[in-house]
Amino acid sequence: MLTDKQCKTAICPPDRKRARYTDAQGLYLEVSPSGSKRWFWKTYSDGKEGRMALGSYPALSLADARKARDTAKLLKGEGVNPIQARKVEKLKAVNPAGDTFQVVAQEWYDQQAPHWSPAHADRSKRQFERDLFPWLGQRRMADIEPVELLATLRKVEERGAVETADRGLMLARQVWRYAVATGRVGRDITTDLKGALRPYRGKHFAAITEPAELAVLLRAIKAYKGGHIVRAALQLAPLLFQRPGELRGATWSEIDLEAGLWTIPAARMKREKDGKENGDPHLVPLPRQAVAILQELHAYTGHGAMVFRGERNHERPISENSVRTALISMGYTPEIQTWHGFSATARTMLAERLDCDPLVIEAQLAHSVKDVNGRAYNRTQYLKHRTTMMQQ
């Protein structure tokens, strides 16, 4: 076995590339011609000899080198590859920013936000700052217990925001998964909260799906005595069944009355950031009844940019409340029919009453689905089929 004195005086002869001074149980000191000295532990795997670097001498003394060897032997005895374990520890050490919940969450958010829509990014940031950071922000993630996270989310539930609490858990789950991946924590504690929060079923917008009831609504819309612009939006909502923001934000430059086609730019669609910036526009074939409504409306708003211009500001569209208020005035409260609900009305009627192809329906609704071959369809496909369906 080596002594401290032997370690200090160990040299490498000039005619050799290196010299080894053996201690015990596979530990040895390797000396280079330049005089540098490093500790190694000899390993064997699948009958092949390898070695594990333990550190440099004299920074790592003989006694400490033996302790490092014993630690590595213990890991190997437990079935852990000590060399791989060392690599993992080094990777964990490359997180200089820290391991508090706020630091890790901000790091995850900064990576994800550029790929989100501005609205989603802003909503997520506000939820972190309002519902999670005040209670968990300065806590080390490895020290946070599931019960702490549950208590934090229940504060949100207590104010009646069940959906927000559910969304908070989803955000926390993403942060914990990122923390596991970057070596801040050993496991995702959010899995322990499954079933602990009040269930959130998602919000379904009220929609009429019975033909006789829909007929009554359509006759009420036709008889509506409100302003020209709101009446036109109200009439087009069930005919085109696009999202309220997409319809009320329409500009005349998007509409080709001769071709009977409305081209909604990708930037105005409900998509993630990449889809808004690089996606295809959404095409809406206009049935002849919709063309007639738009031609009549053109006399009122055609000299401006907005199809459904606001009453006070002609550069902005009508608000979503305008059509909502019109429906309520006719007796159709949000519990019976909503503007959003016209898409559900159309989907049900087209599938159950007109036997339209579900792929064509979903394409018209701008929903991302896969065809029978498992390929995501291009939204410009099925245009001929959608034109026929819209006229039906």
Residue 328 has pLDDT above 60, yes or no: yes
pTM exceeding the 0.75 threshold for the entire prediction: no
pLDDT band for position 375 (cuts 50, 70, 90): very low
pLDDT in tens, 182-204: 888 889 999 999 888 887 655 56
d(CA 157, CA 153): 7
Q: Where in the chain is the domain with CATH 1.10.443.10?
A: 211-391
Nearest residue to 208 via CA among 312, 336, 340? 336
CATH superfamily of 101-193: Tyrosine recombinase, N-terminal domain (1.10.150.130)
Q: Where in the chain is the domain with CATH 3.30.160.390?
A: 4-92
Q: Are 347 and 209 in contact (CB under 8 A)?
A: no
d(CA 41, CA 22): 10
Q: DSSP labels for 142-195?
A: GG--HHHHHHHHHHHHHTT-HHHHHHHHHHHHHHHHHHHHTTS-SS-GGGGGTT
Q: What is the pLDDT of residue 160?
A: 85
Lowest mean pLDDT among 11-25, 44-58, 351-365: 44-58
Give mean pLDDT, residues 177-184.
89
Give mean pLDDT, residues 340-359.
91
Summary mean pLDDT of the chain? 88
pLDDT in tens, 92-111: 555 555 789 999 999 999 99
CATH superfamily of 211-391: Intergrase catalytic core (1.10.443.10)
**What is the CATH code for 4-92?**
3.30.160.390
Q: Where in the chain is the domain with CATH 1.10.150.130?
A: 101-193
**Most confident range, picked from 162-176, 284-298, 316-330, 337-351:** 284-298
